[in-house]
Chain A
Amino acid sequence: MVSQHGILLADNIISDHFGPIVSKVCGCLLRHGALSLLEIVRRLELSPRQVKNSLLILIQHNCVQAYTSPRGGGDKTVTLYLAIFDNVLHRLRFSKFLSVVRVDIPESEVLLEGLLQNGRLTFEQLVERTIFKVPEGSPLPTREEIRMNFNKLVYAHYVERCPKPEPFFDPLAVEQPTSTRKRAPKTVETVLSLEQKVVCTAALSDAERFSQIPYLMEGSSSANDGHHAVAGNKRKHEALEVDEEDSIIAESEVLWRINFERFIFCLKKKFCAERKKAKMRLGTLAIWEAFFEANVTNNDNKTVTSPIDGILERVGQKEGGTSMTLDQIISVLNDLECTSTTNNPEEFTFDLNKLVETCRNDEIESLVKKKHGQEAYTIFRLLLKQGCPVETDEITDRTILDKQVVHETLYKLWKDEYIDSEGVGLVPYRHMHPVTTPSVVHLSVCYTLDLLIKNLKFKMV
C-alpha cells in the first residue's frame, strides 16, 4: 500500500507533466486501488470522456495498467484500471535513464528520448520522429540505420514490447502452487501486492518482450518487383514473404516502451559499485572494479554476475593486478560477498538488493544518530540487527545503557515512527521493533522532491 506522502508526490508529478485532470484520475486510482471507468467517473464527478482521455494518457505513459476481471457470479467481466505507482515515480528518473544510454549506446539516445517523451510508440512512429528531429543540413539517417540502433536498445533490454493491453486477472482465484514456487524459490514466501500480480499477468514472456525487429533479407525489396521466381525457389520466397510480413507488423503495429526494470538495475549497479569503493581495503579496489567491468548481461535484474576469466583478464590490466594470484582474487571476491555456486564455480554473483538494503539501513541509522544521538543509534541498530521485536529489558541488557535513557530514547524513536511497539498479552513491557520500510524517509523524500518540482521547475525530459 502506498503511503499518503507517496500518493501526494505521485499526484504532483502527474499534475506537472499532464495537468490537473489526469492527476485527479491517477490520484483516485492510487487511493482506491483498481477501479472501473464508471467507478472513477462516479467518484470524481468528471465527464466520462474526460476520465477516458485521462486513462488513455496514463496508459500511454505506462502509469496505468488495465485488466479484465470477472464480475458477479456469471461470465460477465469488467475492465479495471490500476495505477502503477513505481512507474509514476520513475518519471523523475528519466534524465538518469537517458544518461545510462548516453554512456552505453550513444547512437540510440535519440530513440530512447522519443520513448521517454511519448511513453509507447511503434517503430514507424519512432522513425518519423527521428527524421523530423534531425537538424537542418545534417544527413538524414536511413531507416536501416535507425532499425539497427533500435535493435541495439532491444538487445540490451533497454526497450521492450509493451505488456498485454488488457489481460484477464481474477484476484480471487487461488494461486497455483507451481506459480508461487516459481516466484519464491526459497522457504520465504513473498506476498505479492495486487499491483505486482497484475503486472506479472500482463507481462509477456522474455522471448516476446525482447524480440527484435527482424532484418529484411538483402534483395527482398527487389523480390517485390518481379515475380519471376523459379519453382525451386518457391519455398525460400515464401519464407521471405513471411519475414517481410513479420517485419512490417513489428514496425508499424507493435508498441514499444522502455524497460524500467533494466534501467533501475543499471542505476543500482552503478550506485553499488561506487558505494563500496569508499570502504575498500588496499588491493581490493582493482578486483572490485574488474568484477563490475567483466559483468555479463543476464536477465536477472537483481544480481551482477561475472565469469572468473573476465575478472582475471581485467584485473591483469590494472595497476598491480598482474602480481595477484587466482586464490588471492577469489578470497577477496568472497570477502566482498561475491559468491559462486557449486554448480557454476566459474561465475561470481553479487546481490545488489542486499547492498541496497544495507545502504538504506545506513541512511536511516545516520538519520537516527544525528537526530536522537548515539544511544538511539545503538538501540536502533540492535533492533535492526535482530529483525524481530525485542523486549525493553532485553534492549537495556544488550546495549548496556541506562534503563531510564533506554526508555526515553525508545519513546522518542517511537514518536518519530522509527520504531514500532507492540504489547504482549498482559506483560507490561513492550516489544520494540524497527520500522525498516522507510515511511519516515518517504516523508522527507516527498517534501524534498515536491519542493524541487515546484520551486525549481524541475521538468523531466
Chain B
Amino acid sequence: MPPRKRPAPPPEEPSPSSKPQPDAQPSEPSKPSPDSEQPTISATILAQLPSQERLAYKLIFEAGNKGMWMLDIRKKLLMGPNIATKVVRTLVTQGLIKEVSDVRHRSRKIFMATDFQPSVEITGGTWYHNGRLDTDAVTTARRCCQAQVERLGAATAQMIHHGILKDDPRAGYTIDKIRDIIKTMVLDKVLEEVKSTGTGEFTTVRAGTMCYRLVTGAPQGGMMEGIPCGVCPRIDECSPEGIISPSTCVYYKKWLQMDF
C-alpha cells in the first residue's frame, strides 16, 4: 500500500459536516498537522478581493485552525462594528471563511478560513458535538466501560478498550478516550483504581499494574448528611439568636425526636 499522503486542502470545499465524527478510527490524520503541511494562502484569491476584505481574510487565515474572534478582527484592523460585520459577511458568502463555535466561549463569534479544520481546543474534542457536550455519547461510553469491567472483573484500561472494540468494532474509541472516561468513573466512585497483586481476582492482570474494579458495598459516609444542618440551604442565615435558629428549626426537632 502506498504511503498515505495528506491531500492538499481544496480551497473551495468547506466540508462543514465532517466534524460530528471525531472519535472515528482515522483520528490521527485529522489531527492538526505539522507546520510544513499547513495550507497556504492563495495569491489568486487575495488578488480578487477588495482591500478591506483582503486584509480581513489574510488576518483570519493567519490565525489558522484557532480562528479569530470578531472583536479581535475589529481591533486589529481598526474597523467599526458595522464595517467589520459587512466585510466578514461578504467573506462568508464567498465561502472563504466560516463561523465556528468555540466550546470555551460560546457567546463569541469565531471566524476561520475554510481551509482549516477547527482545533481540539475550539471543538472541545471527542465528547463535544457542535460546541456542546454530547452527554449521550459520554453516557454510552461509560456504560460500555462498566459492562466490560463487570464481565472481566479487575481489568486494565487496555483490557477494557480491547473488550469494547471486540464487542463493537464501529464504536471507534481511542485508548486515551477510554482512559478519560474511566478516570471520571473513578471520581464518581463507580470504579476504583487498585494495584494488581496477580492473585485471586487479579489473575488476569500482571502483578503491579494499575487496574480497575467495580466499587462494592454501600457508599460510606453520610453521618453529616443525616443531620438537618448538613444540607440546609439556609445555614448561612442561621444563628442561635436569629429568625432562623437551631432552637426553632422544625427539621431539627423532627430529627431529634427520631433519634432520642
Name A residues whose Cβ lies closer than 8 Å to a Cβ of B: 8, 275, 278-279, 281, 331, 334-335, 359, 362-367, 370-371, 374, 377-378, 381-382, 385, 393, 397-404, 441, 443-444, 447-448, 450-451, 454-456
Q: Could you tell me the dominant secondary structure of chain A's interface residues? A: helix
With a cutoff of 8 Å between Cβ atoms, the chain A residues found around residue B231 in the complex are 367, 370-371
With a cutoff of 8 Å between Cβ atoms, the chain A residues found around residue B103 in the complex are 403
Q: Given A444-B235, A447-B229, A451-B252, A374–B224 Cβ distance below 8 Å?
A: no
Map CB proximity to A onto B120-146 as digits: 1 under 8 Å, 0 otherwise.
000001010000110100100000000
Asked if B188 and A377 make an inter-chain contact with CB atoms under 8 angstroms apart, the answer reads yes
Q: Given A378-B187, A382-B187, A367–B230 Cβ distance below 8 Å?
A: yes
Asked if A451 and B180 make an inter-chain contact with CB atoms under 8 angstroms apart, the answer reads no
Q: B230-257: which have CB < 8 Å to A?
A: 230-233, 235, 238, 240, 246-247, 252, 256
Answer yes or no: B42 CB below 8 A from chain A CBs. no
* Residue on A nearest B125 in the bound complex, by CB: A397
Answer yes or no: B218 CB below 8 A from chain A CBs. yes
**Nearest chain B CB to A160's CB is how many angstroms away?**
31
Answer yes or no: B109 CB below 8 A from chain A CBs. no
Q: B92-119: which have CB < 8 Å to A?
A: 103-104, 106
Neighbour of A456 across the interface among B180, B187, B229, B260, CB < 8 A: B260
Most chain A CB atoms below 10 A, which of B231, B238, B256: B231
* Residue on B nearest A405 in the bound complex, by CB: B133
Q: Given A275-B220, A365-B221, A454–B187 Cβ distance below 8 Å?
A: no
Neighbour of A402 across the interface among B135, B232, B256, CB < 8 A: B135
Asked if A378 and B224 make an inter-chain contact with CB atoms under 8 angstroms apart, the answer reads no
Name B residues whose Cβ lies closer than 8 Å to a Cβ of A: 103-104, 106, 125, 127, 132-133, 135, 138, 180-181, 183-184, 187-189, 197, 199, 216-225, 227, 229-233, 235, 238, 240, 246-247, 252, 256, 260
Q: Given A400-B181, A450-B246, A359–B199 Cβ distance below 8 Å?
A: no
Q: How far is the CA of A219 from the CA of B181 in the complex (A)?
A: 79
**Nearest chain A CB to B108's CB is how many angstroms away?**
13
Q: List 24 A-B contacts (CB under 8 A).
A: A275-B220, A364-B224, A365-B221, A366-B219, A366-B221, A366-B224, A367-B231, A370-B230, A370-B231, A377-B188, A381-B188, A381-B189, A398-B183, A399-B184, A399-B187, A402-B133, A403-B104, A403-B106, A443-B229, A444-B235, A450-B240, A450-B246, A451-B246, A456-B256
* Residue on B nearest A406 in the bound complex, by CB: B133
**Nearest chain B CB to A111's CB is how many angstroms away?**
30
With a cutoff of 8 Å between Cβ atoms, the chain B residues found around residue A398 in the complex are 180, 183-184
With a cutoff of 8 Å between Cβ atoms, the chain A residues found around residue B247 in the complex are 451, 454-455
Asked if B218 and A278 make an inter-chain contact with CB atoms under 8 angstroms apart, the answer reads yes
Asked if B224 and A444 make an inter-chain contact with CB atoms under 8 angstroms apart, the answer reads yes
Asked if B217 and A278 make an inter-chain contact with CB atoms under 8 angstroms apart, the answer reads yes
Asked if B260 and A444 make an inter-chain contact with CB atoms under 8 angstroms apart, the answer reads no
